[in-house]
Amino acid sequence: MSENPPKKRSFLSSFFYACIVIFAVVVLTAYEVDKEDRVNQCLQETYKVNKARWARQCKETVKRELRQLKDCIEERKAIIRSIYSSSDDVEKQDKVALIQCRRMYGESDSSADCLLPKDLADSLNSQSEKAVEMCKS
């Protein structure tokens, strides 16, 4: 048996393989950059949506608190008027009702980054975390 010497690759075939390798590296690099861009864009959109949700919940919470405050004031006024005679100063009675209810309900925070009730904040944060994980997957 005679051994055949290994065939030498021609310059063109070596050059061709080198080009394929370089092309593959460029494509994979571009894919990773594109994927990173998509993830960053997704994260930015998620941040915007979550910020808008939080702000909307702040507004809704303030509306609810203001309704409760208004109801409280009306109830207190009725109670105070039933205790005191109608000849007493009505403006003073209204001020007392307002002060009592403000102590109970405090001031409402209508800012977009308000402090929400814990259960509502936890729910929004959980939704946000799920959205971030979806962006990264």
pLDDT per residue over 71-89, tens digit each?
Answer: 999 999 888 888 876 666 7
Q: What pLDDT does 71 receive?
A: 94
Residues of the chain with pLDDT under 50: none
Q: What phi and psi, each to the nearest 5 degrees, are found at residue 89?
A: -65, 110
The answer to whether residues 76 and 100 touch, using CB atoms and an 8 Å cutoff, is yes
Long-range pairs, 125-134, Cβ under 8 A, ≥24: 127/50, 127/53, 128/46, 128/50, 131/46, 131/49, 131/50, 132/43, 132/46, 134/42
Q: What pLDDT does 68 receive?
A: 93
